[in-house]
């Protein structure tokens, strides 16, 4: 299949991944995990919701945890657009494409547009969010990994080609991808798509979906921080929450560590991805048979990492069509 055609004049201007909303069973246990181990800053909290952000982030939140009495699920993925008029342009675009759009009143946001992508992944777009002072110089408050900011999400999708085309039409660029032979001539296994100027904002992988595989946060000094997080996990009695790593990805080249929160939602901590700015930065293809795709050394990914992901609330997941190859699969 061909790589997606990337619009250089998209119908509206997406600037970056903004936030992820997760439904959790125990807010106290989840807060302990994300505040003490991951090291996110709690901006606000009540009996139903916790808002968190990275230590460099000025916006009110990049992760929202909502208490749920039902099975824990992912709720939705949020993107920022440049201006309020971009929201109106987005609504018009999605309506003409046959998508159902909804305007939602979301706490701490400006106007918020909700829609699903072609893979049925629930999305929301906003242009404004309330702000707080950055915590970057409050070293006395740093906990866990103290990640600076959110970086990307990975979503499992049943049909990767139309999903990649959807984001290409919105101006998302391809940085890297994996296919059977490392070229666009064979079906994609995974693809990195970016808007904010580095390697990825959303990663798509062919698998049962839509499901949220992970949300990723950047860390500085990863050679030290990722190992320290593992030690902190052991000290907090959370050793079983360390799923895979620290290792280094081939595709994307980042150092990484994957952890599972108390409900099984997956978090990646990773070194800062490389920049993707100039138009002559061509997409790089990997063959799925290459042993270095997922990690360049150490044990391969565990079966849980390959198969398990968070379902989106109220969205039925479908088997991949066509099924992706069983050889190593990767997303950073």
Q: Contact, 245 vs 214, CB < 8 A?
A: no
Q: What is the pLDDT of residues 70-128, one digit of tens each?
A: 999 999 999 999 999 999 999 999 999 999 999 999 999 999 999 999 999 999 999 99
Fold entry, domain 14-140 = 2,3-Dihydroxybiphenyl 1,2-Dioxygenase; domain 1 (3.10.180)
Q: What is the pLDDT of residue 328?
A: 43
Beta strand 255-260 pairing with 242-248: antiparallel
Q: Residues 130-154: what's their mean pLDDT? A: 97
Q: Quote the CA–CA distance of 35 and 109 in Å, as a whole number.
A: 22
Averaged confidence pLDDT in the chain = 95
Res. 326: pLDDT tops 70: no
Res. 324: pLDDT tops 80: no
Q: Do domains 14-140 and 147-311 have the same CATH topology?
A: yes
Q: Quote the CA–CA distance of 222 and 218 in Å, as a whole number.
A: 9
Domain assignments of the chain as residue spans, ordered by start: 14-140, 147-311
The owner of tokens 């509206």 is 12
In whole angstroms, how far apart are CA 29 and each of 19, 44, 54, 65, 224? 21, 16, 19, 11, 26
pTM of the model: 0.96
Q: What is the pLDDT of residue 1?
A: 64
The domain 147-311: what is its CATH number? 3.10.180.10
Q: Which residues pair with 155 in a beta bridge?
A: 204, 212
Higher-confidence position of 76 and 327? 76
Q: What is the pLDDT of residues 24-67, one digit of tens each?
A: 999 999 999 999 999 999 999 999 999 999 999 999 999 999 99
Length of the chain: 332
Q: Contact, 120 vs 151, CB < 8 A?
A: no
Res. 272: pLDDT tops 70: yes
| Band (321; pLDDT cuts 50, 70, 90) | confident
Q: Closest Cα partner for 184 from 292, 327, 286?
A: 286
Tokens of 24: 């959790």
Q: What does the H/E/C string look like for 120-153?
A: CCEEEEECCECECCCCCCCHHHCCCCCCCEEEEE
Q: Closest Cα partner for 131 from 184, 60, 69?
A: 60
């Amino acid at each position: 299949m061909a790589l997606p055609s990337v619009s250089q004049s998209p119908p509206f201007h997406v600037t970056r991944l903004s936030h992820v909303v997760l439904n959790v069973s125990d807010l106290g246990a989840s807060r302990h995990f994300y505040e003490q181990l991951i090291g996110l800053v709690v901006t606000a909290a009540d009996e139903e919701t916790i808002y968190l952000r990275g230590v460099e982030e000025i916006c009110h939140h990049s992760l929202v945890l909502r208490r749920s009495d039902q099975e824990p699920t992912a709720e939705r993925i949020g993107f920022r657009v440049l201006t309020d008029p971009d929201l109106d342009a987005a609504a018009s675009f999605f309506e003409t494409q046959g998508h159902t759009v909804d305007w939602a009143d979301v706490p701490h946001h400006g106007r918020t547009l909700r829609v699903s992508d072609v893979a049925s992944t629930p999305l929301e777009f906003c242009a404004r969010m309330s702000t707080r002072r950055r915590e970057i110089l409050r070293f006395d408050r740093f906990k866990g990994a103290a990640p600076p900011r959110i970086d990307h999400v990975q979503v499992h999708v049943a049909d990767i080609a139309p999903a990649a085309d959807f984001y290409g039409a919105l101006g998302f660029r391809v940085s890297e991808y994996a296919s059977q032979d490392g070229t666009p001539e064979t079906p994609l296994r995974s693809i990195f798509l970016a808007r904010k100027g580095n390697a990825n904002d959303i990663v798509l992988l062919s698998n049962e979906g839509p499901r949220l595989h992970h949300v990723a946060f950047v860390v500085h000094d990863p050679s030290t921080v990722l190992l320290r997080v593992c030690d902190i996990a052991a000290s907090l009695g959370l050793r079983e929450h360390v799923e895979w790593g620290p290792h280094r990805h081939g595709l994307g080249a980042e150092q990484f560590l994957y952890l599972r929160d108390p409900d099984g939602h997956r978090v990646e901590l990773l070194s800062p991805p490389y920049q993707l700015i100039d138009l002559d930065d061509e997409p790089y293809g990997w063959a799925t048979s290459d042993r270095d795709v997922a990690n360049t050394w150490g044990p391969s990914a565990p079966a849980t990492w390959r198969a398990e992901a968070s379902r989106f609330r109220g969205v039925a997941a479908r088997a991949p069509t066509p099924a992706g190859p069983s050889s190593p699969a990767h997303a950073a």
